[in-house]
Amino acid sequence: MFHRLSTDTLNWIMIIGVILFIIEIVFFHGGMIFSALVCGLFIYIGWKKFYHIWGKFIFWIGIIGLVISVLNMLAVRFLLVAGIALFIIDYAKSKKDKDQVIPSISTQNNPNTEALIRVAPLFNHRVFGDQKTAENAYYWRDINIHGAFGDRVIDLSNTVLPDDTAIISIRHLVGNIEIYIPYEVEVSIHHSSIFGRAHILGEHHWNLMNQTLSYQTEGYDSAYPRVKIITSLLSGDIEVRRI
């Protein structure tokens, strides 16, 4: 369905959704947003203690509360109504459009085409749960992920970094990030956090409140291998240390 929509239409839907989200925050004192955040905290605590009976109870209570809170938000209601309306419009158009046979054009001899190989990422986007690199040797691939709840552990001692710059980009809501780097690797770190702590190569920040930190090793601009780390957290700790 969405492949028939123009980019402008999708942009307007997102803009209206954001406006409704802001209205709910400003005029309804947060509305169901605060409830959703509390339920998200329950989910995180319950997931971390899921092996206990009370952890399972808190987790599922958080899931149910989060679903109810999200469905009661103005922006989400608008998106649901817009999605249903677009589905009906698309279905009506599909009934009017006649089937067309479009001949396929062979690109085998086209010099402008290139052979592409799809590479599996080290990490997939995951809303819940922890992720860590393999404990045995693995082939390096740049990391670019986002998530909601859980910890992320990246150990670079079990891989061979490329001769240029390796990239690690993580955008996360609640959880901790741990990155272990060999001594011969140069590092650049750009970290932002709303709440949390940071321990970066011997530099300690015990109380981050809506702050951004930037560090790099002395030889980062001229030596290889090197790794560039870009992370952002809503609430959580980051630890970057040598191994």
Q: Assess whether 155 and 82 both reside in one domain.
A: no
Q: Assess whether 80 and 159 both reside in one domain.
A: no
119 part of a folded domain: no
In angstroms, the CA 90 to CA 100 distance is: 17
Number of separate domains in the chain: 2
**Confidence at residue 229, expressed as pLDDT on a 0 to 100 scale:** 96
24 part of a folded domain: yes
Residue with tokens 């817009």: 82
71 part of a folded domain: yes
**Confidence at residue 59, expressed as pLDDT on a 0 to 100 scale:** 86
Q: Assess whether 136 and 46 both reside in one domain.
A: no
65 part of a folded domain: yes
pLDDT in tens, 82-102: 878 877 776 676 666 554 545
**Confidence at residue 89, expressed as pLDDT on a 0 to 100 scale:** 76
102 part of a folded domain: no
Q: Assess whether 76 and 137 both reside in one domain.
A: no
118 part of a folded domain: no
Containing structural domain, residue 212:
131-242
Q: Assess whether 75 and 153 both reside in one domain.
A: no
Q: Assess whether 89 and 137 both reside in one domain.
A: no
In angstroms, the CA 208 to CA 165 distance is: 28
In angstroms, the CA 95 to CA 139 distance is: 49
Q: Assess whether 138 and 190 both reside in one domain.
A: yes
**Per residue, what are the HEC states of 10-23?**
HHHHHHHHHHHHHH
**Confidence at residue 149, expressed as pLDDT on a 0 to 100 scale:** 82
Q: Assess whether 52 and 155 both reside in one domain.
A: no
In angstroms, the CA 84 to CA 65 distance is: 24
Q: Assess whether 8 and 75 both reside in one domain.
A: yes
109 part of a folded domain: no
Q: Assess whether 47 and 145 both reside in one domain.
A: no
179 part of a folded domain: yes
Predicted model pTM: 0.61
Q: Which residues of the chain have pLDDT under 50?
A: 2, 99, 101
> Among candidates 234, 139, 231, which has minimal Cα distance to 189?
231
**Confidence at residue 31, expressed as pLDDT on a 0 to 100 scale:** 64
